[in-house]
Amino acid sequence: MSADLQTFVNMLKSAMPHCIKSEDDANQVITIIGSVITNAIKNKDTVYLEGIGEWRSEAIAGKKNVIFTPDRILIDAANE
C-alpha cells in the first residue's frame, strides 16, 4: 500500500477532528509542513520530525543534495 496525499489528509482528519475539520484544513497542514522542510533545506538548516526523521542539505562533490535520515521508530516499523 502506498500512502498518497489523500491518505495523509484522511489520517489528519481522523486523528485530530477537533481542529482539522475539512480536507482543506488537512491539505493546509501538509502544505505548511512541506514549506517548512523546503525553506529549511534552502537555508542549509536541519529539520527533525520525531518518529519520521531528519532532513538536511549537504554538498557532495560540489552538488547540493538533500539527505534524509530516518528516525529509529521509522526504521523499526519498516523492519517489522
5 and 33 together in one domain: yes
Please tell me the pTM assigned to this model.
Answer: 0.78
Average the pLDDT over 63-77 and give the result.
93
pLDDT at 60: 87
* Residue range of the domain that includes 21: 1-41
pLDDT at 1 over 70: no
50 and 37 together in one domain: no
Hey, which bits of 1-80 come out as E strands? 47-49, 53-60, 63-70
51 and 71 together in one domain: yes
30 and 52 together in one domain: no
Number of domains in the chain: 2
1 and 37 together in one domain: yes
56 and 73 together in one domain: yes
CA 25 from centre of chain: 17
User: For 7-53, what is each residue's pLDDT tens digit?
Assistant: 999 999 999 999 999 999 999 999 999 999 999 999 989 999 999 99
